[in-house]
Structure 1
Amino acid sequence: MFAVLRATARHLGLADAGPVAALKPLAEHQPRINHATLDMTAFCAFARSPLTTADRLSANRIDEVVEILKNNSVQREAAAARATIVRAVEFACYRSLLNGAVASAGDSPTTEKVVLVLKRMAEDAEAALVEARADQAEHDRIVKARRDQLQPLRNAVSQRLGMLQAEFDTLSRQADSLRRPPPEQVTSAEERRLLLQAAGLSADQIAALNVGAVGPSREERRGQVQVRIAEVKALMRPLREFGETGDESVLAGIAEFEPLIAAQHAAEARE
């Protein structure tokens, strides 16, 4: 930590000494340090990529902005500006450390007191990092355990969703074919049947004439396909929602998944 402070002091043009000794000429360089102190909100606004404003641009300007951002000169200047801002923020953090250490040292700060405060700051920061790492590790463990518990159910849902998607694609092609049949798919028997229907003959009368088997019309078959498409879409909806959220409650009432859900709940209860 002190090595970083000493390096930062040299960047600021302070005395070539330890971080506490650098306090001596601090007043002399106060304007320079103040100039380096940035408001973090302004820093974040400046450092944010212009791409984040693309959604507020008119559609005909987005491509133009993207091309500008790809320009090498713009990229270089942006990198240089970012580096300058990062250094300025580092200087501001250095100043904050020094001021905080002096204030914590009491009414009569000494070199030893300030050094002790800085050491304690470093120790507190390290302890906070250790605690944060432990919290993150525990969080990762819980997430992994939850993911492992869900995996059998996820696999079953994924397999079922794949089957439904394949059926949906097939039905969609059938519906399109029935909606726009090519001329060669309309047989002469079909044409005769339609003519007899138009003449007022019933299905039994047409069958008696042995014109050909009277089955559902093309529109009737298309209607049946559309009904099944709607059913498949309804079946796919909770499966997709489960894939996105992992919430097994959306699968309630789907019999094929109930044993897996029950097994998962039993595993959670044992923990």
Structure 2
Amino acid sequence: CIEANTEVAARARQEIGWAESAQSIAPGIVEVVEGFSTEVDLPEKVDLLATEIAGSIASEEGVYATIRDAQARFMKRPYDPSSYIPYSYETVGAPATDMCHHSGGNDPSRTGVRIEAHDVTMQLLADPKLVEEICFADPWLPGSGTIGAASQLIWWIDPKRVDANRVAFTSHLKEQEAALAASGMQIADLTFDLSRSLSGIALWPRIVFDEEGSLVYDARGPKGEHQTSHWPTFLPLLASRPVRVEAGDVVRARWEVDLQDGQVMTPLRYSMACDIQGAAGRAQTSD
């Protein structure tokens, strides 16, 4: 067990001690090595690597650099999918409406927000698409440079979702209806506008445990449904204010991640730009 956080490493040793005392594991079977995996050495190469280094954007916690280093230094069979748990990390994404962004409650200087996966104040406008796919046994796993999207990022604003989102926002705001009316806002008008606004492309991780894809953990439901999750959803805001959309509009996104020098401590750089083609022919661009 390799752990860089001193407090977590101490807790892991305590848990191992309890397990040994309870005879759940034999003494000496599990050892804690403290430090970043890219900075420690192991006495011999291993058969299996189990890891959890996914962020809300799967790649944001250094998985490219970490796994490339593990392939080179730790693994007996670095390009065998059975050498890794999980098999891969994915990032999926979909156009989203954020109520706080619509109301002007977000800090205008912020380019993105993290929203709990169960928070109904953010709703999706289309089904998710694959944005990133990082397979641990990939012999060509990139170490630097830029990487584009793992699939074609084209979404159609779903009229059923627009209608369902308006119902969800109405239910959420019902207790505030009197206060909104006192401020001159009608809940019906507010939720109509809210359900037709695009804040950005919501992103969240998916953990694929086997090569066949039969065992998957999704930070949201398969269609982006709300649920409790360890991982919040990341929403990069395409503009300071939401963009108006209508059912049937087409959203095309250009995604790129820059690995820079490929070092584990070097932050990655992400870019997302969207073109929105209206069903009636209007077009606009947001970055």
TM-score interval for Structure 1 and Structure 2 normalised by the shorter chain: under 0.3
Instruction: Give the greater-gyration-radius structure (CA).
Output: 1
More strand by share: 2
TM-score (norm: length of structure 1): 0.20
Q: RCO greater where, 1 or 2, for CA within 8 Å and sep 6 or more?
A: 2
TM-score, structure 2 as length reference: 0.19
